[in-house]
Structure 1
Amino acid sequence: MSRRLELDEGAQVVVRRRTFLVDGSPVALCDSYYPADLVADTVITQPRKIKGGVYSVIEDTVGPIRRQVSHSVEDLVCRMPTREEAAELDLMPSVPVVRVLRTVYDSENRPLEVQESIMAADSHEFRYEVKMR
């Protein structure tokens, strides 16, 4: 994740781990990575829900970060799950997963977050709209 965050190898990152549930069943595993120096001394480093979400902290005009979220780039890969992923998502044998790797950038094209989501391929749909002009 360091490379996607444009950090030196071995630089510290803060990881927020979540499991998303629908009707009590796990549907997605999501890990978000942030440069430690960017989010130091903010609620982003704390293991709890954040009112308004992480981006509200990043964009708070009187907060310590004060950067505008601009855009993201996503890479999707379909593959078979690891044993751990299959167990955490309670997958049936032979169900593949989709790994979505999203890099979120600020208005100056600096990476703010890398988010890795793992989802069962048989229960998710993806739709992308791209403006060409």
Structure 2
Amino acid sequence: MSENNINMKDFVIGTFVGTIVGASIALVFAPKSGKELRGDINEGAQQVKNRAGDWKEIAQEKSSDWKDKAFTTSVEFKKRAMDTTSNITKNVSQKTQDLTKKTQDLTKSISTKFNNEDKTLVEAADSEK
């Protein structure tokens, strides 16, 4: 994309310079008096100035459009990132709660099983005495 912008810029500059040089040469070699020639040169310069003003306005409009598009796109990306982060946070929180509950249930189950086995061993030891 950068190379395309450079090529476009070079084209516009070349067109602008070519227009000025071509108009100047045509005016210099035209069979007119000095006063007429100066008037034509001034008129040509005024036309170039007007065109440059038009190009400036077009460039300003396009840059404003690009700025607005960039702002809109950045707002959309920010919202997506925040939504994604929020969803991930909720999922992690839910998974953590589920894992904590399973760990507690397993601990309770193991504790109950060991307590029952301890009672059985104590009863067996008491019966052997």
> Taking structure 2 as the reference length, what is the TM-score of the superposition?
0.17
Larger Rg: 2
- Structure with greater proportional helix content: 2
> Taking structure 1 as the reference length, what is the TM-score of the superposition?
0.16
